[in-house]
Amino acid sequence: MIYVVSGPSGCGKSTLIKNLLARLPGLQFSVSHTTRPRRSDEVEGQDYYFVTREEFERMKNSEAFLEWAEVHGQLYGTSQEEVSRKSRQGDLILDIDVQGARQVKKKLEQASFVFVVPPSYPELEKRLKQRKSDPPEAIALRLSNARREIQESNLFDYLVINGDLNQALEELKAIILSHRCLLRERQKEFKEILKSFKSWP
Ligand code: ADP
Ligand code: 5GP
């Protein structure tokens, strides 16, 4: 299953996803391409594939992206290759903006869409400032975009309110686990159980 997670910058998507990846086997992260400069704590190929604008444009023109968008003045995109390779191995989570989520919704109807929001606007501002990863003008741009993005909830299936981190983490985990428990998703396991019933007198 593909899970698309979106929400205003600074609401805690990366924090939630990193924690979840460490706790939930069988879940992978779709690493995006971006022209944004790498932050000091980010790892190439793990957080993003950091590319030049030229390289990004080349990929865009050769239709290498499932979706792409300009976000806060930088280009971000999910490559088709990343999604097809990793989704074959199990569940996959995409951390992309609302414009990207809209594009994925048109292409992959069966994906699940999760909207992550902060408990309030002041809390979002506090988190962006505390993160210390962006200069003041970038924070101002992210906050003004957040006012627009928060209006786009109708695109999504689920809402996770990231107030208390552990509770939000449990909610995100529950979304994925409940899907894994669908009978139609467990046919293979269930067949084995049925077989064991038949092989005993
Ligand atoms: P995003 O990926 O949505 O841009 P981050 O995961 O980078 O957001 O989180 C932004 C900041 O908020 C980080 O400093 C992070 O440690 C902090 N943060 C994330 N979730 C919470 C939470 N539930 N409560 C308090 N701070 C949080
Ligand atoms: P950041 O620069 O803080 O890592 O990410 C900024 C925004 O870009 C976030 O909203 C994040 O979800 C979004 N983003 C990251 N990767 C992609 C992508 O591949 N496509 C799209 N459309 N947005 C992305």
Nearest CA to ligand 2 atom 16: 96
Sketch the domain layout of the chain as residue ranges. 2-30+91-199
Nearest CA to ligand 2 atom 11: 96
User: Per residue in 50-108, pLDDT tens?
Assistant: 999 999 999 999 999 999 999 988 999 999 999 999 999 999 999 999 999 999 999 99
Q: Which CATH number fits domain 2-30+91-199: 3.10.450.40, 3.40.50.300, 3.50.50.60, 2.170.190.11?
A: 3.40.50.300
Q: Which two tokens stand for residue 65?
A: 């992206």
What pLDDT sits at residue 199?
82
User: Which amino acid belongs to residue 100?
Assistant: G
DSSP conformation letters of 89-124:
TSEEEEE--HHHHHHHHHH-TT-EEEEEE-S-HHHH
Taking 50 as the pLDDT cut, the residues of the chain under it are none
CA 51, CA 55: separation in Å to the nearest integer? Answer: 6
| CA nearest to 113, candidates 130, 129, 96 | 96
Q: Are 17 and 162 in contact (CB under 8 A)?
A: no
Cβ 82 under 6 angstroms from ligand 2: no
